[in-house]
Amino acid sequence: MTLTTQFYTMLAMVGVGSYLGAAVDTYGRFMKREKRARWIVFLHDLLFWLMQGLVTFYVLLKVNEGEVRFYIFIAIVCGYAAYQSILRYFYLSLLESTIQLSISFYQLLEKIVKMTIIKPIQLLVQAIIFILLGTYKVVYSIVRFLLILIWKIIKILTLPIQWVFMLLWKLLPKSFKKYLEILFRKIAGFFSLVKNRKHSIINRVKEILKKR
């Protein structure tokens, strides 16, 4: 390994150390350990450090074809220390500003979507429902009015027929009227008997089916 390669490797590992410091702070900002179960935190930590190890090895592979030397670890520690003492405050301020800006942008985008897409759809649906309800009320009122009008017309038209029947009824002999009254009672009694028998037969069939 040449001196130039060693120098580039040192600079790269110092950068990796600073990157690891920033990655740890970013991970801690979004992880919120106190609100998560321990096994979830452990799993996330394992995956996080595995990813950082892969990133470090990839950088090392690009710089010096993956040769590991003792000074590499010192360079990483120096980079991490430089980040903690110099860059950490500025990075955390930038990270927080970026998060707040992203939240504000998301809220603005949400409002725009609501005002341009969701709100018009809601208004359209409400207008359709209002029109349908209004149409239903109008049609119901018209149909109800027509039915009442037709019924009244029928009653008026059948009045002469009713008068004729009443006149004929009055002209009938009393004996014949009594005979008709008895006949009507018998017919009503027959239908009542048929109705009662029908219910009794249905109940009997249900009992037989339950026993089976």
**C-alpha–C-alpha distance, residues 110 and 100, integer Å:** 15
Looking at residue 204, its pLDDT comes to: 66
The amino acid present at 147, given as its one-letter code, is L
Is 103 within 8 Å of 40 (Cβ atoms)? no
At 105-141, the pLDDT tens digits run 999 999 998 888 888 898 999 999 999 999 999 999 9
The predicted model gives 28-37 an average pLDDT of: 78
Give the 3-state secondary structure of residue 146. Answer: helix
Residue 10 structure tokens: 């040192």
The predicted model gives 80-93 an average pLDDT of: 89
Say what percent of the chain tops pLDDT 90.
19
Write down the mean pLDDT value for the chain: 82
> Looking at per-residue confidence, does 61 or 196 come out higher?
61
